[in-house]
Amino acid sequence: MKIIYLHQYFKHPRESGGTRSYWITKALVERGHKVVVITSRNNMNKPHERLQTEGFEIIYINTPYDNNMGIWKRLRAFLNFMFKATLFSLQEKKVNMVFATSTPLTIGFPALILKWFRRIPFVFEVRDLWPEAPIQMGMIKNKSIIYCLKIFEKTIYNNAKSIIALSPGMEKGVLECVNGSKTVAMIPNMAKIDLFYPRERDKNMSKYIDFDKFNVIYFGTIGVSNNLNYVVDTAKLLSKSKDNSINFIILGEGKDKPMLEKLIEENNLKNIKLISSKPALETSEIVNACDISLVIFKNIPILRTNSPNKLFDSLSAAKPIIVNSSGWTKTLVEEERCGFYTNPNAPQDLITKIKILKEDKQLCQKFSTNALNLAREKFDKSILVKEVTKIIEESSV
């Protein structure tokens, strides 16, 4: 069948960013389906571009967007892409199915239009609970806008043939919005054991990492929701105690990066290194060269439902993981014995957990082994893409 895949931030593995949609697309192609991906790209010299690549088509729409934008500029970018994606979707012929993946929630609009006007069913994938996430983050405060967004959310969910949620918390949030019986499957983000995997450290990574130290890495978005001040506060405590055996690596881009750079400079912190985003392969090498991985968020209830890529990439890289969110990720690392939970309001607790892993080599290795086994047996993309494609195929009937 012919499938339109709507994802505003589709990424190829050679680019930085999450690649879940790429692997799902490849799996659909391998199943014999024709896939047309409609996505965005910054700084194009033309309004749009259509490419044929690796057995599927991509329509890139020129939609300027970055994490540094304020809420109104972001909203304008979302609406810009929403309307253009709707027009391109309507131009496609002989479409059998639409697969729309958030965020933002506006990605559901083209899918709704195709269902209402061309009777084409759609599957909706929830990667974040919108509008609840920006509401709890304080980004949207107008009661009328909140009311309209919640109606829009329920409309998308109730018109979808099936829904995929990326965490138990998201699944619960969706079920609270839908009417009657609705297929809602929980399929989390994916480990990529062919890309993130344990091996000998690449000596070239010494330009980023001091191999004589115990290296703790955070990789991903540097945004308000990630609260990386927590890492800075931890580094300050270690610096004051004259403990220079632990280094923090922060790899990524985002709105809070300039603020972090300023804090590091003002406090003369030599135990934090900021690294700009890298393509997936180089990111994998940097992660492999570190000792443990941080998966941290601001202490806000909605963020406890997150299904962060960095968690699953860290599992497949066989890194012990420290989380500071008391949601399902805490349950996962504790029950599977692959990491620790740390108090998001107590940097000293993070120091304690890091030092336990630094000093207890046997425990650190045990966590590492458990992380890798979990990635291989439960979360690898070779397992989870089959679950996604099955839902898409069954929803076309």
Residue 119 lies in a domain: yes
Q: How far apart, in Å, are the Cα atoms of 391 and each of 2, 184, 274, 289, 381?
A: 15, 10, 40, 37, 15
N-term to C-term CA, the chain: 11
Please give the Cα distance from 377 to 207 (Å, whole number). Answer: 34
Residue 198 lies in a domain: no
Do 165 and 247 belong to one domain?
no
pTM of the model: 0.92
Do 170 and 54 belong to one domain?
yes
Do 243 and 373 belong to one domain?
yes
pLDDT value for 268: 94
Do 90 and 111 belong to one domain?
yes
pLDDT value for 18: 84
Residue 363 lies in a domain: yes
Do 356 and 215 belong to one domain?
yes
Do 97 and 119 belong to one domain?
yes
| DSSP string over 143-191 | HHHHHHHHHHHHHHHHH-SEEEESSHHHHHHHHTT--S--EEEE----B
Residue 274 lies in a domain: yes
pLDDT value for 397: 67
Do 184 and 43 belong to one domain?
yes
Please give the average pLDDT of every successive group of 10 residues along the chain, which has 397 residues.
Answer: 96 85 97 97 86 95 77 82 96 97 93 97 94 86 90 95 95 88 90 94 92 96 91 95 93 92 94 92 95 95 92 97 95 97 96 97 97 97 96 89
Give the range of the structural domain holding residue 161, as residue numbers without chain letter.
2-188+382-395
Residue 194 lies in a domain: no
Do 134 and 217 belong to one domain?
no
Give the chain's domain count. 2
Do 8 and 147 belong to one domain?
yes
Residue 115, token pair as written in the block: 């269902």
Do 179 and 226 belong to one domain?
no
Give which of 318, 286, 291, 293 is closest to 308, Cα–Cα. 293
Q: Strand, helix or coil at 366? A: helix
pLDDT value for 2: 98
Residue 196 lies in a domain: no
pLDDT value for 67: 67
Do 119 and 23 belong to one domain?
yes
Inter-residue contact 145 to 106 (CB < 8 Å): no
Q: How far apart, in Å, are the Cα atoms of 286 and each of 190, 277, 323?
A: 19, 11, 20
CATH code, domain carrying 133? 3.40.50.2000
Do 375 and 389 belong to one domain?
no
Residue 193 lies in a domain: no
